[in-house]
């Protein structure tokens, strides 16, 4: 069967400080089951996840050949993590009607290659988007890269009200039982949510004029683990407060994705805090979730169990809209206007 679909294509790789809603062209095209190759499925997009990393995929200033995936080129389809419903299949593992967790295009109907299909959705498919990528990011970042810390330790999480951050805080408090979980976010409302719902003992608004003093007051015994989603000034501040052998998990750097080359392009780590890396034997480690691909099933199982046990509340911010509004979701994410995991539920 053949489907008429609207789909967003990247105009061209972008620079810094752009309005992302203007970076894409909406086209109309046909997709047909006749085009399916072995292993592929033709699917209707159900959920489209909006994630900070997507900003890097479309940025022309990536160091050539050194992004963790092939960047999206001029005229190429925009991609996202998401859930799709299989309509036609040449993949023996997935049948018509299955909901699959996959890398999808910003499209109503599309063909998905086997390497972009991760697993069959179970339970609530919107939870799958939340647990599947950002939940697993929190899981591997905190447990594998950060390594379990004693309960009597201090963990600081930046962009703590983000989808990944909120799960990091909850695993730290509700699963590991960590004593001091400190979340940093960009509004008082987010901070209130962090202490009320996300297991934070203290939540700090980084836009407060007294943030630096509040940060120091909140970490009198220094930091065992800093889970970094933002980069920049907050990271610098954390480096000045690390314990001996403290660990910095570099999960993301949303504060710099849209200004890689602005103002000399410095990440904002001071000499004084770099010296702390030596003096306090700090370990800083970056990661991407796909390095743990062989452990996805275990992680997803744990996360689903903890959700059922009430240890994780999944905060979802679902936009129900048609394909024309999808780029606005990306813009909303970068303005920090979402509350919880931002997902477009596609009306097709």
What are the residues binding a copy of itself (CB under 8 A)? 56, 61-63, 66-68, 231, 240, 244-245, 250-253, 256, 259-261, 264-288, 291
Distance of closest approach, residue 100 Cβ to a copy of itself, in angstroms? 26
Coil, strand, or helix at residue 84?
strand
Q: Give the shortest CB-264-to-a copy of itself separation in angstroms.
A: 8
Q: CA-to-CA distance for 230 and 160, rounded, in angstroms?
A: 10
Shortest distance (Å) from residue 34 CB to a copy of itself: 37
**In whole angstroms, how large is the CA radius of gyration of the chain?**
20
| Distance (Å, whole) CA 112 – CA 110 | 6
Whether 140 and 250 have beta carbons less than 8 Å apart is answered as no
Q: Which CB, 147 or 189, lies closer to a copy of itself?
A: 147
Q: Are the CB atoms for 177 and 201 separated by under 8 Å?
A: no
Residue 265 C-beta: closest distance to a copy of itself, Å: 5
d(CA 231, CA 248): 11
CA distance 259 to 210: 25
d(CA 183, CA 199): 9
Beta carbon nearer to a copy of itself, 29 or 60? 60
| Rounded least distance, CB 147 to a copy of itself, Å | 12
All residues at 6 or more sequence positions from 263 whose CB lies less than 8 Å from its CB, including other chains: none
Residue 149 or 276 having the CB closest to a copy of itself:
276
The H-or-E segment that residue 75 falls in is none
Supply the minimum distance, in Å, between the C-beta of residue 103 and a copy of itself: 17
| Cβ nearer to a copy of itself, comparing 204 with 249 | 249
| Residue where the block lists tokens 């009306």 | 347
**With contact defined as beta carbons under 8 Å apart, do 187 and 205 qualify?**
yes
Q: How far is the CB of 70 from a copy of itself (least distance, A)?
A: 12
Positive or negative, the CA dihedral 56, 60, 66, 72 is: positive
Q: Among residues 44 and 241, whose Cβ is nearest to a copy of itself? A: 241
> Toward a copy of itself, which CB reaches closer, 68 or 122?
68
Q: Which is nearer to a copy of itself, 141 or 199 (CB)?
A: 141
Please, which residue, 35 or 244, has the CB nearer to a copy of itself? 244
DSSP sequence for 164-233 = HHHHHHHIIIIIS--SEEEEEESSHHHHHHHHHHS--SEEEETTSTTHHHHHHHH-TT-EEEEEESS-TH
Beta bridge partner(s), residue 44 = 85, 109
Nearer to a copy of itself, 114 or 286 (CB): 286
User: What's the closest the beta carbon of residue 216 comes to a copy of itself, in angstroms?
Assistant: 11
Smallest gap from Cβ 283 to a copy of itself, in A, equals 5
Burial (Cβ within 10 Å: 0-12, 13-18, ≥19) of residue 159: buried
Q: What is the separation of C-alpha 281 from the centre of its chain, rounded to a whole number of angstroms?
A: 28
DSSP-derived letter for residue 63 is P
């Amino acid at each position: 069967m053949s489907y008429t679909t609207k789909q967003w294509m990247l105009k061209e790789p972008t620079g810094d400080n752009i309005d992302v809603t203007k970076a894409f062209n909406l086209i109309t095209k046909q997709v047909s089951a006749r085009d399916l190759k072995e292993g592929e499925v033709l699917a209707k997009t159900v959920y489209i996840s909006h994630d900070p990393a997507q900003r890097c995929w479309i940025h022309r200033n990536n160091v050539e050949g050194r992004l963790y995936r092939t960047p999206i080129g001029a005229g190429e389809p925009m991609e996202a993590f998401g859930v799709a419903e299989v309509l036609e299949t040449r993949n023996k593992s997935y049948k018509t009607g299955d909901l699959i967790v996959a890398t999808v295009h910003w499209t109503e109907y599309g063909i998905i290659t086997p390497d972009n299909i991760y697993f069959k959705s179970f339970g609530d498919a919107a939870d799958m988007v939340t647990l599947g990528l950002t939940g697993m990011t929190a899981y591997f970042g905190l447990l594998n890269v950060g390594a379990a810390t004693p309960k009597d330790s201090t963990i600081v999480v930046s962009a703590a009200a983000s989808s990944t951050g909120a799960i990091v805080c909850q695993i730290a408090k509700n699963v590991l039982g960590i004593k001091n979980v400190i979340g940093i976010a960009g509004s008082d409302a987010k901070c209130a949510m962090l202490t009320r719902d996300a297991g934070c003992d203290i939540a700090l608004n980084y836009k407060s004029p007294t943030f630096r003093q509040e940060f120091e007051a909140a970490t009198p015994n220094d930091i065992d683990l800093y889970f970094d989603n933002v980069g920049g000034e907050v990271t610098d501040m954390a480096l000045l407060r690390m314990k001996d052998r403290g660990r910095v998990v570099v999960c993301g750097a949303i504060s710099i994705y849209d200004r890689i080359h602005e103002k000399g392009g410095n990440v904002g780590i001071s000499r004084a805090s770099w010296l702390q890396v030596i003096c306090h034997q700090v370990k800083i480690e970056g990661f991407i979730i796909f390095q743990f691909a062989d452990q996805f099933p275990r992680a997803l199982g744990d996360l689903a169990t903890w959700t059922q046990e009430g240890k994780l509340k999944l905060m979802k911010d679902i936009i129900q809209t048609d394909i024309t509004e999808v780029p606005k979701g990306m813009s909303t994410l970068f303005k920090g206007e979402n509350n919880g995991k931002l997902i477009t539920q596609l009306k097709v």
